[in-house]
Structure 1
Amino acid sequence: MKNRRLFWRIVEKIEQAITQGEYVVGSRLPPERELAEKFDVSRPTIREAIIALEVRERVEVKTGSGVYVVNHNHDEEVDQNINAFELTQARALVEGEIAALAANSITDEELSQLHHTLVMMEDKEYIEEADQMFHHIISQSTRNGALIKVFDSLWALRASSPSIIDDYNMVCSTDNRKTMAEHTAIYQALSMHDASEARNAMHQHFNRLINVLFDKIEAQTLEEVRRKNNANRDLYSIENLVKHRS
């Protein structure tokens, strides 16, 4: 599993270009197609990067006009008080309702696209891309612009805080089979146009993610305590004290 999402590296490159004056405040970024060619990535990856840049207040997206560089007046790019648990809980609430609404409006074509992401997820190289596509397709199938905007903002937060990035990377290192099973359950509920089951399946998905986060952070904390105890044990060991005096 890659330690950093691909679109986050694109965010860094564009921010660097802005800082170096390649893209000045008030100027319009190149079209999505040109950026995809320049950074040798897919257009959906560029789309994700633009969303993250907008959340970080580096650009402004003007519908029908383009993406413009804006003046960045403050150093704190994201509310560092938001943690991975809060983000996951918020996503569960929002995406649960998105799934329920999508169950009533999703098309056969979108269901086919969802199924394709399940196939992609079998290849470990495309897990992250498939995961993003899966949730994105569901949000788009609601036909609700406000919910899509909220979804995009929450997804972008995954890459806007170093602590959230680290915590989600821990989750991504777990067994992918469980994620595939949960995505499959969501897909099946949507294919049956069962709003209640789609909501429940999405909640179950995020509930496991939260529990994995707790497990990983607990293990990390215990390891840190063990490391400090070992260091103190060496420091205060009578055996070592006597050895040094001999």
Structure 2
Amino acid sequence: MMPPTEGRKLYQNIATAISKAIRNGTYQPGQRLPPERELAEEFNVSRPTIREAMIALDIMGLVEARQGSGIYVTHSRPAEQSDDLDIGAFELTEARRLFEGEAVALAATTITDEELTELSAILADMVDENERDIVGDQADRRFHVAIARATRNTAIVLVVETLWDLRYKSPLCRNMLARARAVGVRPLVDDHVEILDALKTRDPRKARAAMHHHLGTVIENLLTATEMEAVQRAQSEVAARRSELARRTAL
């Protein structure tokens, strides 16, 4: 296992190691990188960490996905940009799962009927956003922040808001979420209904379990959706549809 570098995120250590291997010729331009599972075993890290590292290398212009084939080296030197892409979506969602699980448990003991009604209204907005494919997941954010506010603890509200804002401030996280949306990932309405139902029972353990389940599912969906080959397939399908539409309208 590669020893961690102090002050750096784990995905950055992996991306740096692979970029060095590309620069020193271990991996040549045009060469296929080892499969994700092999890299995870080599560096003794999780698949999400390797996924974040691969996406970071893709953003830097060092690798690309080829449909049905794998990840290939494109250049030996990165584009002119910092390799510090900040927090990835997996790391951020894991933090949310830990923190918001306890926040919703506390909220279950303090939430009012009026706040439950507000959450129901936000859920309706979430359904509308999904149907209209609105980017930004604003109703999703409002739902989780409203739960934080129901705790009557301003520090909890600040932390939840900060974690949500990092989704948009972190280049790596923003890129990963865009990839997920490209292959159809949307806010999970049924999961939010379960969270709301648990809050209505005022049961902290049930509320915590519902939140843990929800954000665990988010992590799994991100893992599937950010598979670079899956994104390439989605892009190819969109390009094919556009080509077919152009051909038909030209008749």
TM-score of Structure 1 vs Structure 2, range by shorter chain: 0.5 to 0.7
Query: Per-residue CA shift, 1:190-212, capped at 9, x if unaligned?
Result: 01101111111111111111111
- Could you tell me how far 1:218 is from its partner in structure 2? 2.0
Tell me the secondary structure at the aligned position of residue 176 of structure 2. Answer: helix
Query: What residue is the counterpart of 2:153 in the other structure?
Result: 144
Which residue is 2:222 aligned to?
Answer: 213
Structure number, greater radius of gyration = 1
Partner amino acid, structure 1, of 2:123: L
Is 1:88 equivalent to 2:97 in the alignment?
Answer: no
Distance 1:137 1:185 in 2: 16
Distance 2:93 2:85 in 1: 15
Question: Is 1:112 aligned with 2:117?
Answer: yes
Paired position in structure 2 for 1:101: 106
Q: Does 1:165 align with 2:170?
A: no
Matched residue type, 1:104: T
SS at match of 1:122: helix
Asked whether 1:189 is paired with 2:198, we answer: yes
Q: Quote the Cα distance in structure 2 between the aligned partners of 1:142 and 1:172.
A: 31
Q: Distance in 2 between matches of 1:111 and 1:166?
A: 33
Q: Quick one: structure 1 residues 109 and 172, their matched pair in 2 at CA, closer, same or farther if it must change by over 3 Å?
A: farther
Q: CA RMSD in A?
A: 2.7
Give the deviation of 1:129 after TM superposition: 2.1
Hey, what's the Cα distance between the residues in 1 that align with 2:86 and 2:175?
15
Which residue is equivalent to 2:32?
none
Whole-angstrom distance in 2 between the partners of 1:222 and 1:120: 28
Per the TM alignment, residue 171 of structure 1 is displaced from its structure 2 partner at its CA by 3.3
Q: 1:169 to 1:223 in 2, by over 3 A?
A: closer
The CA deviation at 1:175 is 5.3
Letter in 2 for 1:105: T
d(CA) in 2 for partners of 1:209, 1:105: 26
Give 1:116's aligned amino acid.
A
Tell whether the 8 Å contact from 2:101 to 2:212 is kept in structure 1 after alignment. Answer: yes
The secondary structure found in structure 1 opposite 2:226 is helix
2:162 aligns with 153
In structure 2, C-alpha distance between the alignment counterparts of 1:222 and 1:141, rounded to whole Å: 38
Q: CA deviation at 1:170?
A: 3.2
- Tell me by how many angstroms 1:80 deviates: 2.9
Contact 1:103 1:195 in 2 (8 A): yes
Q: 1:144 to 1:201 in 2, by over 3 A?
A: same
| 1:103 partner amino acid | A
- Sequence identity percentage: 39
> Cα offset for 1:105?
0.4
* 8 A contact 1:171–1:209 mirrored in 2: no
Are 1:198 and 2:207 matched, yes or no?
Answer: yes
Q: Deviations over 1:15-55 (max 9, x none)?
A: xxxxxxxxxxxxxxxxxxxxxxxxxxxxxxxxxxxxxxxxx
Of 105-114 and 124-133, deviating more is 124-133
1:220 Cα offset (Å): 3.2
TM-score by length of 1: 0.55
The 1:156/1:175 distance shift into structure 2, 3 A limit, reads: closer
Deviates more, 1:209-218 or 1:109-118: 209-218
Matches within 5 A, 1:111-130: 111-123=116-128, 124-125=131-132, 128-130=137-139
- The two structures have a TM-score, normalised by structure 2, of 0.54
